[in-house]
Structure 1
Amino acid sequence: MIHQYKNNGFNIVLDVNSGAIHVVDDTTYDVIALYEKHDKEGIVCKLKDRYPERLIEECYEEVKELADSQQLFTEDEYENYIMDFKKRPTVVKALCLHIAHDCNLACRYCFAEEGEYHGRRDLMSFEVGKAALDFLIANSGSRRNLEVDFFGGEPLMNFQVVKDLVAYGREQEKIHDKNFRFTLTTNGVLLNDDVMEFANREMANVVLSIDGRKSVHDYMRPFRNGKGSYDLIVPKFQKFAESRNQDRYYVRGTFTHHNLDFADDVLHLADLGFQQISVEPVVAPADMDYAIREEDLETLFHEYDKLAAEMVQRKKEGKDFNFFHFMIDLEGGPCVAKRLSGCGSGTEYLAVTPWGDLYPCHQFVGNEEFKMGTVFEGVRNTELRDEFKCCNVYAKEKCRNCFAKFYCSGGCAANSYNFHGSINDAYDIGCELQKKRIECAIMIKAAMAE
């Protein structure tokens, strides 16, 4: 399978199964488009009105050489591999600790209902958090590196327990020969010098929530009294990013139907001095006024193209920044299992509520159908776990013939379920945006290689 497209003056050809990427001239591009269904004479006949016959023949031979060397039109070798996934032992390597089912903001698009997650407000106790870390260690097998994300709601509303759990984790590292990678997601309202000092010492990564321009951010992320939060958090975030040497953090925003010109929000964040940026499309029911709609897609495609071109220009000027969705590894990349099955939700990665219930990920929390067990008793719903084990690009008809499948790994299971009632489907708008982001990411790599 190959995927061909043009972007920012580049003719790009992706061989999906090998991952090989070719930047080619117009003649070669058109020869490749005809190669599988026509022989050399047929291709010459179809293209001779556009290009000299000798040039077409030379390009044909070059394409044939690439195909013979397994760099074009390669066969899919992965489908049989995926059949063994259900048999693999389950090793838990990451937990999302809902340290606080409460929040001090009232974000309009919040899937967590201001931190309540379709339930009640609560803060995780040290005892529950301790049991969660013990569960992770006990179910991690021989894996040494483990990840724990402090999430909410707003985790800094329960900061003392965060500190106590990190201290407990550091003690357990020595006992069990494990290495904890702690991360934190915060809206910044309670961020202060003490939190920054602690995070810089203990947190491998910190996600700072901000949507972009002041008008955009304050509209979607106000306090409960309606007042905006932009002016309070921006100076804190700038100070924090500098204290981490512009590394090991992301400013993370959400764009909606109300700011389809989101590239301006990304560039606004870059102009504020942030070098690690992620701004993602909202995922919401179609009846919400801020939801992304199918008719918005062409506008959003243009925004991604505009952003990618601007990033190329800024990099050449020495003013570059990282945009999370354009970061792509074309050489090593994730392992085969990760490329085929994604984030590992429901198997390797689980979410923990303040009272210790286990769910496949934070987006399933509150849906009792997806409760998997508790940190005290372990995973009891093994049938659901096996269903998540088998959630992969070959279990999804929409993914099988999609060029992006080995980059997005089939997309988000929660989004699939929320829009289609099955974890083995795909959220269509999200798919289209993901494919565009991958195209832009590859173009940026091509531009930087010049």
Structure 2
Amino acid sequence: MSLIHRYKSNGFNIVLDINSGCIHLVDEVTYEVLPYLEEGLGTEAIAEKLENKYNREDIETSVRECNKLKEDGMLFTKDVYENVIEEFSNNRQTVVKALCLHIAHDCNLACRYCFAEEGEYHGRRALMSYEVGKKALDFLIANSGSRKNLEVDFFGGEPLMNWQVVKDLVKYGREQEKLHNKKFRFTLTTNGVLLNDEVMEFCNKEMGNVVLSVDGRKEVHDYMRPFRKGAGSYDLIMPKFQKFAESRNQDKYYVRGTFTHHNLDFSKDVLHLADLGFKQISVEPVVAADTEEYAIREEDIPQIMEEYDTLAKEMIKREKEGKGFNFFHFMIDLTGGPCVYKRLSGCGSGTEYLAVTPWGDFYPCHQFVGEEQYLMGNVDEGITKPEIQKEFGGCNVYTKKDCKDCFARFYCSGGCAANAFHFQGDIKGNYEIGCELQRKRVECAIMIKAALACD
């Protein structure tokens, strides 16, 4: 298992020390010295390997500097957490800190790629009642232990189709904060069809984050996100989204799109959204069975990789011009190294984070809703299948065999359990296309940081 990852990008020779998260920009000599050092070769042996290409003195200097970085714990560091993962998982007290409330299993759009089947999730149309939502918040408070900050996402379908209940539950949550010494952070995901001034005003007062669903260019968005009778939704929602983003001072929201096989030139969709003034942008690859005509295929990957490179270079250019924006998949924290907590616990689905259906059933996350083998309990009885919680609690980069040799494993925490389940039938598996794209995004994110730091 390699301890470093080397790659070239946009004129930089970049070296990631996988376990510490340290990033090094190196010259050509050091770029070629490093693999031999990792093999354990000494200065003399490395000089013999490279003496036809580089000056011997430069090689010796490079080896000396690399060994100093190793001594300082910044290069070829070992993973000190792998041996404690089992003990950590067994002894950790699981507290629930977030709920995804499926406030509406109904939708006013008919998006072609919707995993929720127009909001129905393999089942019936339904709106969550205030009583069910209230019990869900009570469950969260009761199962959050000493944790003060809790999160509740109003999700769908389309949450605004059940807007009064959203408002009532926020009011109830605020009342409970004082009684239990908790603090709720409410968030909302919406397609914008029912967005109006009253909704915006309420959200600006109460919602810590709002996700606005839009796929980019008008022709792309209208093809994938039409109304049920076929008309596009772009012209209706876009002015409202622009107004909403401005009303939130271009912060605490993001426009979230999906790219498919039909718009592999998705960097144009990201830049279209940036040109419209949005500063917080996420456009993500569709996850779909390869039988779907819009699914990402293995042969699409080279073009997608090029698009990420194109986007990364344009983002650097715009940042230097004072016109920068955030792209969700390129946001990476390099200051603290790979997050220890995330590498040990994964994303938290099925343990710290649960989805709640309109009738009050618990699932590990929104993408498991309707998969009956992962029905965990309900708002009346609580968790009735703790073995599911335990299964998810044991899911992390150390229990996924395909993560073992992946340099990006500590930035994705082993990837999405739902994607692994749907593609390999096992939450400890991997969605291979997703993994390839994740690695590329990590490389681009690091390169962007390097380019801006060197300016």
| TM-score of the pair, normalised by structure 1 | 0.99
Contact in 1 for aligned 2:305/2:437 (Cα 8 Å): yes
1:67 shift after superposition = 1.2
1:70 shift after superposition = 1.4
Name the SS for the 2:329 alignment partner.
helix
1:334 shift after superposition = 7.0
In structure 2, do the counterparts of structure 1 residues 394 and 131 end up closer, same or farther at CA, with 3 Å as the change threshold? Answer: same
Match of 1:147 among 133, 151, 156: 151
Residues 288-343 of structure 1, C-alpha deviations (whole Å, 9 max, x = no match):
00000111111000000000000000000000000000000011367422233321
Contact in 2 for aligned 1:17/1:76 (Cα 8 Å): yes
1:44-443 counterparts in 2 under 5 A? Answer: 44-83=47-86, 84-332=88-336, 335-443=339-447
Name the SS for the 2:322 alignment partner.
coil
Residues 253-283 of structure 1, C-alpha deviations (whole Å, 9 max, x = no match):
0000000000000000000100000000000
Over aligned residues, Cα RMSD in angstroms?
0.8
Whole-Å separation in 1 of the counterparts to 2:339 and 2:447: 23
Whole-Å separation in 1 of the counterparts to 2:52 and 2:119: 63
Name the SS for the 1:274 alignment partner.
coil
Whole-Å separation in 2 of the counterparts to 1:113 and 1:379: 26
1:41 shift after superposition = 1.2
After TM superposition, the structure 1 stretch with the greater mean CA deviation from structure 2, 116-125 or 37-46, is 37-46
Whole-Å separation in 2 of the counterparts to 1:62 and 1:335: 27
1:88 shift after superposition = 1.4
Contact in 2 for aligned 1:340/1:410 (Cα 8 Å): no
Name the SS for the 2:184 alignment partner.
strand
Name the SS for the 1:4 alignment partner.
strand
- 1:40 and 2:43 aligned: yes
After TM superposition, the structure 1 stretch with the greater mean CA deviation from structure 2, 75-84 or 300-309, is 75-84
Residues 8-59 of structure 1, C-alpha deviations (whole Å, 9 max, x = no match):
1111000011111101111111111221222211111111111111111111
Structure 2 letter corresponding to 1:238: Q
Unaligned runs of 5+ in 1: none
Whole-Å separation in 2 of the counterparts to 1:224 and 1:180: 35
After TM superposition, the structure 1 stretch with the greater mean CA deviation from structure 2, 318-327 or 77-86, is 77-86
Contact in 2 for aligned 1:340/1:405 (Cα 8 Å): no
Structure 2 letter corresponding to 1:155: P
1:64 shift after superposition = 1.0
Contact in 2 for aligned 1:254/1:282 (Cα 8 Å): yes
Whole-Å separation in 2 of the counterparts to 1:358 and 1:286: 29
Count of matched residue pairs: 450
Contact in 1 for aligned 2:214/2:221 (Cα 8 Å): yes
Whole-Å separation in 2 of the counterparts to 1:159 and 1:6: 50
Contact in 1 for aligned 2:281/2:327 (Cα 8 Å): yes
The runs of at least 4 consecutive aligned structure 1 residues that moved more than 4 Å come to: none
Name the SS for the 1:36 alignment partner.
helix
Contact in 1 for aligned 2:19/2:338 (Cα 8 Å): no
In structure 2, do the counterparts of structure 1 residues 334 and 120 end up closer, same or farther at CA, with 3 Å as the change threshold? Answer: farther
After TM superposition, the structure 1 stretch with the greater mean CA deviation from structure 2, 162-171 or 41-50, is 41-50
Structure 1 letter corresponding to 2:288: A
Whole-Å separation in 2 of the counterparts to 1:353 and 1:326: 32
Name the SS for the 1:119 alignment partner.
coil
The answer for the alignment partner of 1:10 in structure 2 is 12
| TM-score of the pair, normalised by structure 2 | 0.98
- 1:445 and 2:452 aligned: no
Structure 1 letter corresponding to 2:73: Q
Residues 140-189 of structure 1, C-alpha deviations (whole Å, 9 max, x = no match):
00000000000000000000000000000000000000000000000000
Whole-Å separation in 2 of the counterparts to 1:31 and 1:418: 42
Name the SS for the 1:11 alignment partner.
strand
Structure 1 letter corresponding to 2:166: V
Q: Percent of aligned positions with the same letter in both sequences?
A: 72
Unaligned runs of 5+ in 2: none
Whole-Å separation in 2 of the counterparts to 1:411 and 1:164: 35
1:82 shift after superposition = 1.3
